[in-house]
Amino acid sequence: MSRLLDQVREAVRTRHYSLRTEEAYLRWVRQHILFCGKRHPSGLGAREVSAFISHLAVARKVSASTQTQALSALLFLYREVLALPTGWVDDVERAKKPQRLPVVFTHEEARAVLSHLRGEPWLMASPLYGSGLRLMECVRLRVKDVDLARLQITVRDGKGGQDRGTVLPTSLAEPLERQLERARALHEWDLREGFGQVYLPYALELPHVPPQLRHPPDRVGLRHPHRAGVARPRERRDHTDLHARPQPGRARREKPAR
């Protein structure tokens, strides 16, 4: 199974799919193989896929969107990895996603929720409402993407891999400027301690980073540091990130004295 999963992982990364898509596809392919008695998918077909999708709905009671995600992962496996015909996909019975009316906070409800938050949680939740950011777009927000002069936020590699610009509420300009100062102080302190390096995606590390500062290929190399099989160095922090994220398995550092 491990060799097949490696092939799926390679096919996903070749197409530059997101990390979450990679994790989801690998999880569903693994579960499908285990459900079918660890038989190789090349010997399976519509009946086994349909049985697995039905099992998800009946035994595990997953939602229609989860069924669709599992089927997409299996179609990727058969089409892109195994290069097998998938004309049987129309015969696979699946649940239909019901139409739901979106739940939208009123202005007063949003203010009431935000009034219970303080510090960084408040600073991260406010752009979700005021700037229309998705959760992970806010988590991945970088210093260079915040333009305080124009009151604008640039979202990089958003949904569908698209960039877009959105407004920055005036009420967030001053708190964000203070956060930028704290992030800058933390970065400068880390540089004095010999840390403060930043992960660069794909092959950007080669032309832009001196050889003595590059990370060993067995640690990061040209792959995403959070991808499976790649250990992220414990002493590195992404200082392009606006919000500090403590590394797993390591106590958070004290903030430098100002």
Residue range 128-162, pLDDT digits in tens: 988 989 988 888 888 888 999 999 999 988 877 78
Residue range 55-99, pLDDT digits in tens: 888 888 888 889 989 999 999 999 999 988 887 777 777 767 778
Q: Which CATH number fits domain 2-91: 3.40.50.150, 1.10.3720.10, 3.20.20.80, 1.10.150.130?
A: 1.10.150.130
Structure tokens at 219: 């640690």
Q: How confident is the model at residue 33 (pLDDT cuts 50, 70, 90)?
A: very high
pLDDT of residue 234: 38
Give me the sign of the Cα torsion angle 246, 251, 256, 257. Answer: positive
Give the start-to-end residue ranges of the domains of the chain.
Answer: 2-91, 107-169
More confident call, 187 vs 170: 170
